[in-house]
Copies of this chain bind each other. A is one copy, B any other.
Amino acid sequence: MSTPSVVVFDVNETLSDVTALGARFADVGAPESLAALWFASVLRDGFALTAVRSAARFADIGAEQLRTLLPRAGVTGDLDGAVEHVLSGFSSLPLHPDVGPAVRALHDQGLRLVTLSNGAASVAESLLGSAGLRDLFEHVLSVEDAGAWKPAPAAYAFAGQRCGVAAEEMVLVAVHPWDVDGAARAGLRTAWVNRDGGHYPAYASAPTYTVTSLEDLAGSLSG
């Protein structure tokens, strides 16, 4: 099996550290742990729309889920302000510490690098720009331009079209089993990033590669 030429990175949680959003929830009077429930709820409702061949913007679902969850968690007062405070934190998250070294190594290896997010391209642009890594990426892609969220096949096909390569020339890199599963079904090779010794569910397609850090990816893809 030849090595792929294009590395397609998921963004939220794969590159960015979403746990840092907990502080924004605490700022508005909610438990920090609500960040994880919020993120899962946004994906749940986004995938429900994907299942009926529809779509909404990640930020719009994110705002509506905050309007659902924050009052239930006891947040009172300026709800509009609280929603804005949490959402604005989402585009200023830190990157995981393994991202910079890994991206530089993969780029030096001659691989083409792109991102493909269910969120807005502007969020990924901001995350990568702040870290001085934007120039190493050929494209910063959002499913907003694909008409369908990952894990629908059309989302991965869109990345192939933008890069001018077939599915098997791409490797999708993600921490989320649902993303690995969707990419595998669409014909891509896949790398599951398991930073925390997590469990990979039996109902999802097995990844081509499993790494415990993005820094191990360069070795996996070199031959």
Contacts and interface: CB of A to CB of B under 8 A. Distances in A.
Nearest to A182: B52
Interface residues of A, number: 42
Interface stretch (A21-29, A56-64, A102-110): A56-64
Interface stretch (A33-41, A92-100, A124-132, A212-220): A33-41
A177 B42 CA distance: 12
A40 B37 CA distance: 7
B56 A203 contact: yes
Interface stretch (A2-10, A66-74, A133-141): A66-74
A65 interface: yes
Nearest to A203: B56
Contacts of A52: 151-153, 181-182, 185
A165 interface: no
**Majority-rule SS of A interface residues:** helix
Contacts of A182: 48, 51-52
A68 B64 CA distance: 27
Contacts of A37: 33, 36-37, 40
B47 A40 contact: no
A119 to B, nearest CB: 15
Q: Among the interface residues A31, A37, A40, A177, which one has the most CB atoms of the partner chain B within 10 A?
A: A40
Contacts of A151: 48, 51-52
Given A48-B182, A49-B181, 16 more contacts: A33-B33, A37-B40, A40-B44, A43-B48, A44-B44, A44-B47, A44-B178, A45-B177, A45-B201, A48-B151, A51-B51, A51-B149, A52-B152, A52-B185, A67-B199, A68-B198
19 contacts: A33-B33, A40-B40, A40-B41, A44-B47, A44-B178, A45-B177, A45-B203, A47-B50, A47-B51, A48-B151, A51-B182, A52-B151, A52-B152, A61-B201, A64-B199, A67-B201, A68-B199, A71-B198, A72-B196
